Chain A
């Protein structure tokens, strides 16, 4: 048993971090704020070239042939860089939808609402999508996004996650059965959790950096326990969620070591909480400046809110985990 990252895994994560720093610096990501299209198609191809989407695809199918333990490290870095776009959906679709694997196509994903749903169907990134996949208990279907009766949301809560209200979702073309949708729900939850861990870490870093430089009462505010302890709690939440995500990925790859479903959903639950709580704490540490649009603290907080609605809400995840204890 050696639950440390291998040298290769550490290098992989560092490589993706450098790619993101070079290709997706925050100031350039932010230029897309408020746009209906936020996916930089050239950048998406570069992510594809780097193996972000075909990482888990077998080499025989043209993929990199790695697994979720590596994928969660990559997705943590993508989350940390606040890279916009349907990263998880495009990763899941690699090998199934043409162009997804190398980043030539942008693939989105939505859960089919239950019959009689009263809340309107909100879909992310429609203008950027080549294909929209619809996930239900029965399976996965592909829909041509250009055929949808969709109305753009003029004020999306997250300025880097454009939204549409979709009036009706067609059946689409079936591309996979119930096994695939079950697996995608588990793996999608895990990869989304990895993005959340990246956001939680980014918020910790931003808050800590500010606490080291902002001076009040003649001292940097990070020297006051009231602020220091907020930052400490941020690190603890991010670390616990990170280890949960990595353990879940290894448990999926090595299923005899635990319960892959419980590990993934538990990791998503903790990562959602870490990203949301750290996003809010980061704003709090920044004081009034944190409440301004200019300071980017709100971007991680808002993205975390978006991701917390995907692949299971916290209530759904916690209830599933609770039920698992009574089985």
Chain B
């Protein structure tokens, strides 16, 4: 067990830090959360800067045009960006972390040439059309229908939780090409250009009063067969391949942000006088212990990925523990604001020291609610821990069809 970084790793960090120090200050103000065109422009501009500096697709293999960085370098990359308050991946999320990886692994050479450089340069924004209103945790029950018509698929159905749909150019789409009850064996992975006729977008307003997601309605949308990644009815496996690119760094930015929120929370408690209460100091201390442990767990997972290619059980353990700790941190910070925490905007403190950060804390508290739901609910995660790690019996399979080997794989987008 060694937590010290090697000389090449430190050199990678130093170069990156120097580049961030001269680049981030010139980025200009971040656009408002509701300003989607502004966010697209800001995030894709940032992606272009990363590309020019050789940091685009830091976790992509070299043959896909990426940097092919080691898992430890990927950790350093995410850590340094977060510490420099550089933009997070933003609207480039699906392209960089999901669709691009999928096309590298499963796409044809034409598809790779056509789509990958545009993702890396920030020219194309992707969104994800996986979940459906009736296919959430049980993704394999999805029903959006694709019928072959010559060299096109005609697709009808609806998708939900599609982030960045309003500004996306392409959509990674899972459709049903097999029989109605074919589950994992009848799914196909398609690339849907978002300007195709028949695509309708309806933004979803979240409890945080943002439009982070949208619903997609697809009405006889014609998608060329050439846009299929992998074979027909092999889309489930293609999707699983993508997930195998995870190296344990998915929550690095989030976790480092939580440390900052804890610091801000302590500052607020000191301003309001709540810090005199030992109970408050203990809650803060407890959260520090948890976040420290989760940072250590991140390093463990990355180290395991460096050795074996996958973060192992630690990824699920991390998600369960982190998301619940983060929600408690949100509750804690909001409680310290007292009734000022009822305002989702900054409120000037009576101590003459300026605003109390109510807007950030309310937003964070509300956003935190999604953490135990998105990317596999905590209940699904507990099933995974119970069944795949502890070896407890599986949940009953749906009655039709009989159990298949593919039933082991379970995701939610």
- A residues contacting B by CB (< 8 A) are 1-6, 9, 69, 204, 208, 211-212, 219-220, 222-223, 225, 228-229, 231-233, 235-236, 239-241, 243-244, 246-247, 249-251, 254, 256-258, 262-263, 265-267, 269-270, 315, 317-326
A69 smallest CB distance to B (angstroms): 5
- B residues contacting A by CB (< 8 A) are 1-6, 9, 72, 75, 262-263, 266, 270, 275, 278, 280-286, 288-290, 292-294, 296-297, 299-300, 302-304, 306-307, 313-314, 317, 320-321, 379, 381-383, 385-387, 389-395
Interchain CB contact (< 8 A) of B393 among A223, A315, A324 = A223
18 new A-B contacts at CB < 8 Å, known A222-B390, A225-B382: A1-B72, A3-B1, A208-B390, A220-B393, A223-B394, A225-B383, A229-B383, A231-B386, A233-B320, A244-B296, A250-B2, A254-B4, A263-B292, A269-B285, A317-B285, A321-B289, A324-B288, A325-B285
Q: Which 5 A-B pairs have the closest CB atoms?
A: A321-B285, A322-B281, A322-B285, A266-B289, A247-B296
- On chain B, the residues within 8 Å of A243 by CB distance are 293, 296-297, 300, 314
Given contacts A240-B321, A325-B263, contact A1 B5 (CB under 8 A): yes
Q: Who on chain B is nearest to A316 by CB? A: B282
A95 smallest CB distance to B (angstroms): 24
A39 smallest CB distance to B (angstroms): 31
- On chain A, the residues within 8 Å of B289 by CB distance are 244, 265-267, 269-270, 317-318, 321
A219 smallest CB distance to B (angstroms): 7
Whether the Cβ atoms of A323 and B2 lie closer than 8 Å is no
B218 smallest CB distance to A (angstroms): 34
Interchain CB contact (< 8 A) of B317 among A219, A240, A267, A270 = A240
- On chain A, the residues within 8 Å of B389 by CB distance are 232, 235
Q: Give the interface SS of chain B, mostly helix, strand, loop or mixed.
A: helix
Interchain CB contact (< 8 A) of A315 among B282, B307, B385 = B282
Given contacts A232-B386, A235-B385, A254-B3, contact A323 B297 (CB under 8 A): no
- On chain A, the residues within 8 Å of B286 by CB distance are 269, 318, 321-322
A96 smallest CB distance to B (angstroms): 27
Interchain CB contact (< 8 A) of B1 among A5, A231, A233, A267 = A5
Whether the Cβ atoms of B382 and A232 lie closer than 8 Å is yes
- On chain A, the residues within 8 Å of B379 by CB distance are 225, 229
A266 smallest CB distance to B (angstroms): 3
Interchain CB contact (< 8 A) of A1 among B6, B278, B297 = B6
A3 to B387 alpha-carbon distance, docked (Å): 26
Given contacts A1-B9, A232-B390, A244-B293, contact A325 B4 (CB under 8 A): no
A239 to B385 alpha-carbon distance, docked (Å): 12
Interchain CB contact (< 8 A) of B306 among A2, A208, A318, A326 = A2
Whether the Cβ atoms of A325 and B266 lie closer than 8 Å is yes
Given contacts A228-B392, A231-B386, A232-B386, contact A1 B288 (CB under 8 A): no
**Among B278, B313, B381, B390: residue with most chain A CB under 10 A:** B390
A250 to B306 alpha-carbon distance, docked (Å): 19
Q: Who on chain B is nearest to A269 by CB? A: B289
A82 smallest CB distance to B (angstroms): 21
